[in-house]
Structures are given as C-alpha cells and as structure tokens.
Amino acid sequence: MAHGHHHDAHAANARALALALAITAGYTAVEVVAGVLTGSLALLADAVHMVSDNVSLAIGLVAMGLARRPATARRTYGYKRAEVLAALANGVLLVALAAWIFYEAIRRLGDPPEVVGGWMLAVGVVGIGVNLAAGAILFRDRGRGVSLNVEAAFRHVVADLLGSVGVVVAGAVIVLTGWVEADALVSIVIGLLVLASSWTILRDSTSILLEAAPRGIETDAVGRRLASAPGVVEVHDLHIWTITSGFPALSAHVLVGRGEDCHARRRELEQVLASEFGIAHTTLQVDHVGDHGALVELGRI
C-alpha cells in the first residue's frame, strides 16, 4: 500500500508538472516578444525567469521518469536521486538568473532606455493570471507526497507571480509619471525574489546529497525512543538519511537482553519508526548483549 501511494503521488506530481509546463510555456513566448518590443527589462527579466520555469518543469518531468525506473544490481536504489540532482540544477539556474538581472538592471540605471509602459502593464496583468493558474495547480499537488521538483517548480512560479506584480507596478508608474527608471528598479526586486526562491531548493537538495537527517526528524529523539523500547539495552550506529524527497531511510545496530526474541523486538521497533516518525525503509541489526562482542572477536581471528 505504501508503495502504491508513493507511485500514485509521483503520477500526480508528473501530471501537475506537465500541466504547469503547458501553461507557462505558452506565456513565455508572449512575454519575450513583449519585452523586446516594449524595451522593458522587467518584462525580459520575468520572461527569462519564465524560461527557467519551463526548464525546471521539463527537467523535473524527465527526472521523475528516471526515478520510476527499477533498481539494478549496480544501482540498487534505481535513479531516485535524479529528482534531487534536477532540483539542485534548478537552484543553480536561479542564482545565475539573478546575477544576470542585477547586472542588466545596474547598467540600465545609468542609461535608461525608452520603455512602452502601457503594453508592459497589460502583459504584466496577463502574467499574474497565468502564474496564478500554474501556482494553483502545483500548490494543490504539494499535499500528495512532497516532491522536491514540484516544490522547486512551485517556488519558481511564486517568484514569477511576484515578478509579474512588479511588472504591473513599474508599468503603472511609467504610464502615470514617465519615470522609466522604475523598470530597472523593479528588475532588481525581481532578481532578489529569484535569489530568495533558490535558497530553500539549494539547501534541501544539498542536504539530501550529503545524507543529512531529514528535516523534521531529530536523530537524537529517534535514538532515545528506540533505546526506551521494551527489551532494548543499547542503540548505536544510528543513521537517518533521505533517498529522495519523501523517502527517508534508517539503519541502526540494536542490542537487546539475553532472553529477548530478536525478531520480535525488530518488528516492534519497525512499527514504532513507521508510526511515530514516518520512516518505513529501515535496516535494523538486532543482537543479544554480549553476542556482538564475541562476533567481533571471531572476525578478528
């Protein structure tokens, strides 16, 4: 059942990414053309971010397809980490995008070009609607088993929505006052939004690749809970990590009393880990107190 739920969540994630890609890709072309024709850096910055959205969604779809491929003797976890690598690439792309926006905005502040504020305003309003639609699709899907790629795509879209709001504000200022510098200033704000949206994705993806304990799970608390279980004398070599988003794993060496049933204690601990901490993929080595030391000495001989 857990495997079926995981598969259903991935299928739903893939559908959400595909639908969001179809929506944002259509608008991207419109925004690129509008940015060039109006001379607006804010529109072009938002358009480039929309391109990064499309790349993000496309990479996510490919990565999710790879993640569903079965494990092999060489890759015992299959390609599940492909999603994490894709999320990391998305985060790096956002940082590079922010750097380009900052450079171009600063250059334009010194020599602001003419900007057609009316068309800029109109395209920005359309962008708000497009990003609201894509964001609603991805937001609804976040509750069905969180995927880093859905989370990455959602953050792209949220940043783009705020960018579209900025475009509307800049367009309104230019139409009402003729102050074209508003275009470059709003572009800097969009760049900051882009940079901020990259932080969580970079943090989470690198954390998984470095095999840190999953967010929300305290290793010490898990160790104390296992050690306090009936029949357990000691817990050591405890490791908790994430295979891919939504797939935590745990391994530990557990010592139980001399008269305890090792298999029964292991099953009880597995139930505790699944019900209290949401960790279903576990590897527990359970030995009687004293046996482990004898086995180590035997191995040395």
The gap from C-alpha 113 to its chain's centroid, in whole angstroms, comes to: 37
Burial of 301 (0-12, 13-18, 19+ CB in 10 A): exposed
Look at strands 281-288 and 247-256 and give their pairing.
parallel
Tell me what percent of the residues of the chain surpass a pLDDT of 90.
Answer: 28
Please work out, in degrees rounded to the nearest 5, the angle formed at the alpha carbon of residue 89 by the alpha carbons of 166 and 74.
155
273-293: pLDDT as tens digits: 999 999 999 999 999 987 765
User: What's the confidence (pLDDT) of residue 114?
Assistant: 82
pTM exceeding the 0.85 threshold for the entire prediction: no
Question: What distance in Å separates the CA atoms of residue 119 and residue 141, rounded to the nearest whole number?
Answer: 33
Task: Return the SS3 of 241.
Answer: strand
Looking at the fold, whether 112 and 84 belong to one and the same domain comes out as: yes
Looking at the fold, whether 230 and 163 belong to one and the same domain comes out as: no
Residue 214 lies in a domain: no
Looking at the fold, whether 70 and 128 belong to one and the same domain comes out as: yes
161-181: pLDDT as tens digits: 888 888 899 999 989 998 888
Looking at the fold, whether 183 and 241 belong to one and the same domain comes out as: no
Looking at the fold, whether 249 and 125 belong to one and the same domain comes out as: no
Looking at the fold, whether 197 and 265 belong to one and the same domain comes out as: no
User: What's the confidence (pLDDT) of residue 51?
Assistant: 78
Residue 153 lies in a domain: yes
In the chain, how many domains are there? 2
Place of tokens 């088993």: 145
Residue 174 lies in a domain: yes
Domain containing residue 158: CATH number: 1.20.1510.10
User: What's the confidence (pLDDT) of residue 206?
Assistant: 93
Beta strand segments in 131-244, E: 232-244
Last residue of some domain: 209, 233, 251? Answer: 209
Residue 6 lies in a domain: yes
Looking at the fold, whether 111 and 258 belong to one and the same domain comes out as: no
Which of 201, 279, 283 is closest to 237 using CA atoms?
Answer: 283
Last residue of some domain: 168, 184, 209? Answer: 209
Looking at the fold, whether 197 and 230 belong to one and the same domain comes out as: no
Residue 253 in contact with residue 292, Cβ under 8 Å? yes
Looking at the fold, whether 55 and 188 belong to one and the same domain comes out as: yes
45-75: pLDDT as tens digits: 888 777 777 877 777 777 777 777 888 888 8
Question: Sheet containing 281-288: which strands, arranged edge to edge?
Answer: 232-244, 247-256, 281-288
User: What's the confidence (pLDDT) of residue 9?
Assistant: 60
- Residue 265 or residue 80, greater confidence: 265
Residue 91 in contact with residue 202, Cβ under 8 Å? yes
191-201: pLDDT as tens digits: 887 788 788 78
Domain containing residue 296: CATH number: 3.30.300.30
For 15-19, 88-92, 255-259, which range has the lowest pLDDT when averaged over its residues? 15-19
Looking at the fold, whether 120 and 235 belong to one and the same domain comes out as: no
Last residue of some domain: 209, 240, 263? Answer: 209
Which of 79, 168, 154, 84 is closest to 123 using CA atoms?
Answer: 168
Residue 160 lies in a domain: yes
Q: Which domain holds residue 267?
A: 219-300
Looking at the fold, whether 95 and 147 belong to one and the same domain comes out as: yes
Residue 167 lies in a domain: yes
Question: What distance in Å separates the CA atoms of residue 68 and residue 9, rounded to the nearest whole number?
Answer: 12
User: What's the confidence (pLDDT) of residue 300?
Assistant: 39
Residue 234 lies in a domain: yes
Which of 169, 142, 164, 168 is closest to 153 using CA atoms?
Answer: 142
Question: What distance in Å separates the CA atoms of residue 72 and residue 70, rounded to the nearest whole number?
Answer: 7
Residue 59 lies in a domain: yes
Q: Is the pLDDT of residue 251 over 60?
A: yes
Q: Is the pLDDT of residue 213 over 90?
A: yes
Looking at the fold, whether 156 and 263 belong to one and the same domain comes out as: no
